[in-house]
Amino acid sequence: MVLRAFLIGCVALQMTAAGADDNSFFAARRKALMEKIEGSIAVLKGATETSSYTAFRQDNNFYYLTGVETPGAILLLDGIRKRSILFLPPRSEEIENWEGPRLYPGREARNATGIDQVLEISEFERELEKRKENLDRLYLPLSPIETAAVSRDRALKHEELTSRDVWEGRISREAALGQSLRARLGSVPIVDLSPVLDEMRRVKDAQEIARLREAARIGALGIKEAMRSAAPGMYEYQLAALAHFVFLWEGASGFAFHPIVGSGPNSCILHYSANGRRMSEGDLVVMDFGPDYRYYVSDITRTFPISGKFRREQAEVYQAVLDAQKAAIAKIRPGATFADLADAVDKALDRHGYARFLNHGVSHYLGMSTHDVGSVEPFVPGVVITIEPGVYMPDRNLGVRIEDTVLVTTDGCEILSKDVPKDIAEIEALMAQKGIAATIMN
Ligand SMILES: [Mn+2]
């Protein structure tokens, strides 16, 4: 998925989900955060029940620090006493009846989560009250909550539009939370926790890297299946469905962002989402999609001819974009910046006279969100980025984008999405194979 700005940084546990191994990662993150807010406390409010019949997905920050996937939870991190308290809604027979068992306040939840104390949500105010005396500040994340398929750029835009809407204009959830807390805290200032969490989340730990690697493996498998099955006469949504099927089959909870499958003229629409066009001989298809696997995502784009063979003009543009992508990947290492990658892409495309046909940013951080948090550079080992140059020529119905998910290592990088071919001969060989669509349609 493409970043709007030219460069971002030119400058369950639902009783079961997380296990003991996972808990040690969550505990380490809470410990690290409490060190950063030494002498203060932080409050995070998790996602509430969904307003639709979709699966509950916890807020990224809340999950990052707890692994807890229970709706309506609050986390208090006490950086003075170095203790964490989780607040959960009380047991409800009705909810259990409909939704199954949940995590409830008490010893069982403490054992399952490894969090120091698990109290009922009604206790939160008293615990806050206890701590407000002599408190120098309270940290609260002020950036928008991130649940399924949410990235901050999009969420901020939505927030801005909502606040400016003459008819439904209202303050954000985070601003409202801040107001409620302020009313109870008196003169204690509220400080934004988001930049602190952003910088922690920017650099991935071993658990995160393992999940990102799996998300990229699943993403690659899905895109490969779509390429294998692609044939003239199919609809764009059918390619999306094939990849989505593979994502779910492999254990992803859903997608990282709505699928982008643009054929022919739609290949030039950066975030094309209708996916309704019937594809025909000669079309080039830009497919940009990725799964959400245990709160970590991948973001992969491949461009391929629906018939399985590139036409000469298509191959020429494609090769230029591929050269640019490879030139940029060669620059990815600790110390490099987004500007270095943009520069490598620009120089490579310029050699072919195509630089002016690129109208979006070519790289962004990726992790729990597709356009992940973190505005700090240069890269360090453990950050994950995407690299996605493109060339778009609407006059010729010809759009090409190639995107991989890449982990920065100590001595260079590892292309996590390397399983999907991108060289012309390899793409044509993959597309000559029989895909599962042939079985579904017969
Ligand atoms: Mn992207």
If you measure from the C-alpha of residue 58 to the centroid of ligand 1, how many angstroms do you get, rounded to a whole number?
A: 22
What percent of the chain is predicted at pLDDT more than 70? 97
If you measure from the C-alpha of residue 81 to the centroid of ligand 1, how many angstroms do you get, rounded to a whole number?
A: 41
If you measure from the C-alpha of residue 215 to the centroid of ligand 1, how many angstroms do you get, rounded to a whole number?
A: 14
Residue 110, C-beta contacts closer than 8 angstroms, at least 6 positions apart: 116, 117, 118
Q: Mean pLDDT for the chain?
A: 95
Q: Is 327 within 8 Å of 351 (Cβ atoms)?
A: no
- pLDDT recorded at residue 440: 87
If you measure from the C-alpha of residue 327 to the centroid of ligand 1, how many angstroms do you get, rounded to a whole number?
A: 17
Strand 254-255's sheet: what is its strand order?
254-255, 291-293, 296-297
If you measure from the C-alpha of residue 156 to the centroid of ligand 1, how many angstroms do you get, rounded to a whole number?
A: 18
If you measure from the C-alpha of residue 187 to the centroid of ligand 1, how many angstroms do you get, rounded to a whole number?
A: 43
- pLDDT recorded at residue 12: 43
Residue 384 has pLDDT above 60, yes or no: yes
- Phi (first) and psi of residue 249, to 5 degrees: -55, -35
Measuring CA to CA, how many Å separate 230 from each of 59, 222, 257, 318? 36, 12, 21, 18
Give the residue ranges of DSSP H helices in 84-134: 93-99, 107-113, 124-132
The whole-number average pLDDT for the span 38-51 is 95
The whole-number average pLDDT for the span 375-393 is 97
Q: Is 290 within 8 Å of 300 (Cβ atoms)?
A: yes
Structural domains of the chain, with CATH: 20-201 (3.40.350.10), 206-440 (3.90.230.10)
If you measure from the C-alpha of residue 276 to the centroid of ligand 1, how many angstroms do you get, rounded to a whole number?
A: 22
pLDDT in tens, 252-297: 999 999 999 999 999 999 999 999 999 999 999 999 999 999 999 9
If you measure from the C-alpha of residue 7 to the centroid of ligand 1, how many angstroms do you get, rounded to a whole number?
A: 12
Amino acid residing at 121: I
If you measure from the C-alpha of residue 37 to the centroid of ligand 1, how many angstroms do you get, rounded to a whole number?
A: 32
Would you place residue 21 in the very low, low, confident or very high pLDDT band (cuts 50, 70, 90)? confident
**Residue located via tokens 């999306």:** 240
**Residue located via tokens 């203060």:** 40
Other Cβ atoms closer than 10 A to 72: 15
pLDDT in tens, 195-206: 999 999 999 999
The whole-number average pLDDT for the span 305-332 is 98
Measuring CA to CA, how many Å separate 225 from each of 162, 284, 430, 435, 436? 39, 17, 9, 6, 7
- What is the C-alpha separation between 255 and 297, in angstroms, rounded? 8
- pLDDT recorded at residue 18: 67
- What is the C-alpha separation between 189 and 142, in angstroms, rounded? 13
The pTM of this model reads 0.95
- pLDDT recorded at residue 8: 42
SS3 assignment, position 3: coil
Chain-centroid distance, C-alpha 378: 20
Q: Name the more confident of 1 and 246.
A: 246
Residue 15 has pLDDT above 80, yes or no: no
Residue 43, C-beta contacts closer than 8 angstroms, at least 6 positions apart: 74, 75, 76, 77, 128, 138, 139, 140, 181
SS3 assignment, position 139: strand
If you measure from the C-alpha of residue 2 to the centroid of ligand 1, how many angstroms do you get, rounded to a whole number?
A: 4
Residue 442 has pLDDT above 80, yes or no: no
What percent of the chain is predicted at pLDDT more than 90? 91
Q: Is 60 within 8 Å of 144 (Cβ atoms)?
A: no
pLDDT in tens, 53-74: 999 999 999 999 999 999 999 9
**Range list of β-strands (E), 200-355:** 254-255, 260-263, 284-289, 291-293, 296-297, 300-305
If you measure from the C-alpha of residue 386 to the centroid of ligand 1, how many angstroms do you get, rounded to a whole number?
A: 6
- pLDDT recorded at residue 5: 58
- What is the C-alpha separation between 287 and 260, in angstroms, rounded? 6
pLDDT in tens, 398-434: 999 999 999 999 999 999 999 999 999 999 999 999 9
